[in-house]
Amino acid sequence: MSVEPLHTEGDNLSNLPFYQERVDLAAAFRWTVRFNMHEAVANHFSLAVNDDGSRFLINPNQRHFSLIKASDLLLLDANDPSTLDRPDAPDETAWGLHGAVHRNCPHARCVLHVHSVHATVLASLADSTLKPIDQNSAIFFNRHVVDNEYGGLAFEEEGERCSQLLSDPKVKVMVMGNHGVMIIGDTVADTFDRLYYFERAAETYIKALWTGQPLRVLSDEVAEKTASEIERYGNSDGRHLSDLKEILDREEPDYKH
């Protein structure tokens, strides 16, 4: 099967399919590097672009996050079994994990998977639950799930299993035991903001454990109240991504290309 190039020299890039979505996702890749949450040429971000979530954008196979541009992103169909036969086929684990989530969880519009340091340390503990010990960690109270059944690389069977853990729309984070973390959300802005705060919360929690001192854990009532208040609090995620893109416009404008 031949695949036509997305653009040629001189094309108007704004005419690319789902151009603004591509720009937002490309910005997320670039800032994941700046926040040191990337891992070599591994890990994957995806974004659904149709109503049922089955068509999605995802990063190309083995491309460093710092180099990804809007036009690089692949457009895949989660229900197309021939995807891995494409000449520009995605990484097999990207297809296994993200394809399954977009196929089975239409509420997961954006899916970000990383092996960021502090979230992965959390995923390596016997109890990988993030305790609500501060305002940031309280954001995730009763809104994250822990996968305790790691079974190897996320090929299709493992991806299908993992996707079942995200069936509850209230759950926005999966701590992937012995693996890393997966964050889902409605938009790139919403999901990237959540990734940022989860990594920050995990860092605070891990460093608190390092002290060996008793933790000041919030009550369930206060943790739930805080999480609910933050969910209703303004449009900080949109402002966050907007400002991050403004910085990229000045310093790395090729992300839009």
DSSP letters spanning 143-175: SEEEE----SS--HHHHHHHHHTT-STT--EEE
**pLDDT surpassing 60 at residue 5:** no
Would 102 be classed as within a structural domain? yes
- Tell me what the mean pLDDT of segment 167-188 comes to: 97
- Tell me what the mean pLDDT of segment 122-126 comes to: 98
**pLDDT surpassing 70 at residue 2:** no
**pLDDT surpassing 80 at residue 1:** no
Would 82 be classed as within a structural domain? yes
Range of the structural domain that residue 27 is part of: 13-251
Residues 209-256 pLDDT 10s: 999 999 999 999 999 999 999 999 878 999 999 999 999 999 999 999
Q: Which residue has the tokens 């995807």?
A: 83
Assign 9 a pLDDT band (cuts: 50, 70, 90). very low
The predicted structure's pLDDT at residue 44 = 98
Would 4 be classed as within a structural domain? no
Proportion of the chain in helix, strand, coil states, percent, rounded to 5:
45, 15, 40
- Tell me what the mean pLDDT of segment 162-188 comes to: 97
Would 131 be classed as within a structural domain? yes
Mean pLDDT in the chain? Answer: 94
The predicted structure's pLDDT at residue 66 = 98
Would 8 be classed as within a structural domain? no
The CATH code of the domain that includes 86 is 3.40.225.10
Max Cα distance, the chain (Å): 61
Would 224 be classed as within a structural domain? yes
Q: Residues near 105 by Cβ (< 8 Å), separated by ≥ 6?
A: 53, 163, 166, 167, 184
Would 5 be classed as within a structural domain? no
- The count of structural domains within the chain is 1
Beta bridge partners of 98: none
Would 161 be classed as within a structural domain? yes
**For the chain, how big is the Rg over CA atoms in Å?**
18
Closest by CA to 120, choosing from 42, 187, 59, is 42
**pLDDT surpassing 80 at residue 7:** no
- Tell me what the mean pLDDT of segment 71-88 comes to: 97
Q: Percentage of the chain surpassing pLDDT 90?
A: 91
The predicted structure's pLDDT at residue 11 = 55
